[in-house]
Amino acid sequence: MTGGAGFIGSHTAVSLVNAGFEPIIVDNFSNSEHKILAGLKQILGRALTHYEADCNDASEMERIFATEQPMGIIHFAASKAVGESVEKPLMYYRNNLNSLMVLLELMPRHNVRSFVFSSSCTVYGQPEQLPVTEATPRLPASSPYGNTKAMGEDIIRDCVASKMPIRAISLRYFNPIGAHPSALIGELPRGVPANLVPYLLQVATKQRASLTVHGNDYSTPDGTAIRDYIHVMDLAEAHVSALQLLGQKDADSFYDIFNIGTGRGASVLDLINTFEEVTGITLPYTLGPRRAGDIEQIYADVIKATEGLNWQTKRSLAEALGDAWRWQQTL
């Protein structure tokens, strides 16, 4: 697992072990912290093998492939801040696309067949119809970050079409939130959080004065933007299902795409109200103007994932926020 010490990667490590896999973590800790490895050790009762390495370093990745002889790759590692990607586009294209190509080049050399790619619902932009299915047209990305996800999908598709011996799945994540119920691992945003839930949690702990709701004049039931919030442990389990599906495939080359969400939209005010109900904390917030680049609403059609991956979400929005809050209180 590249980026295995990150938010989604660390939770997926737990789900992989629970399913009988032996995850190997590769992370350069540019956007994660070593304390997550200690949390994983507490949850699992043992340390996982990990390498502090950059996926863009082809010779180091070659050494790891040769040493570990993995059966598959889950590729989480990527720069992921939308705003930063607008300011530093070349850094994002270099890091996110080159690391992907290094892995794809190494796989046939080491007879590694299975590849799961972290994609994103950002590839849909503001869709004309909801919910979005995997057949919904992709729209031009509003940021270099979003573009690297669309381009990453295309690179994998073209490699499979060229008959490279790779079986791959792209998982289009919606909005992951929450934490492991043990509160030993969770999301660790750097600086000012760009996402709603980490910011909300910092308001709840009085690290920040109040929350700004960006836009209350959207064409939604309460006027605020709608997203599909999925518990990170449900998302983690989708990676296990994807890896299991790839292991069952007989074809030398295979590629598919799945939406990974709950199939339900929740507005910003829904999120705030649910958090207040779960915790008993009143969140101070103000209504502000819309943010440039924000879409009005998006949520997933998850029928294909339910049927094709034999997977479905199990945890509620309230559970996700409760778990996130317990994690926040440990920081």
- Which helix (H) or strand (E) covers residue 50, if one does? strand 50-52
78-104 exposure pattern, b = at least 16 Cβ within 10 A, e = fewer: bbbbbebbeeeeeebbebbbebbebbb
pLDDT at 293: 79
pTM above 0.95, yes or no: yes
- The amino acid sitting at 93 is Y
* pLDDT score of 218 more than 90: yes
% of the chain surpassing 70 pLDDT: 100
Domain 7-328: give its CATH code. 3.40.50.720
123-132 exposure pattern, b = at least 16 Cβ within 10 A, e = fewer: bbbebeebbb
Report CA torsion sign: 325, 237, 261, 164: positive
Query: Measured between alpha carbons, how far is 192 from 164 in angstroms, rounded to an integer?
Result: 42
pLDDT at 231: 98
Burial of 310 (0-12, 13-18, 19+ CB in 10 A): exposed
* pLDDT score of 191 more than 90: no
Q: 100-147: per-residue pLDDT in tens?
A: 999 999 999 999 999 999 999 999 999 999 999 999 999 998 889 999
Please give the positions annotated as active site. 145
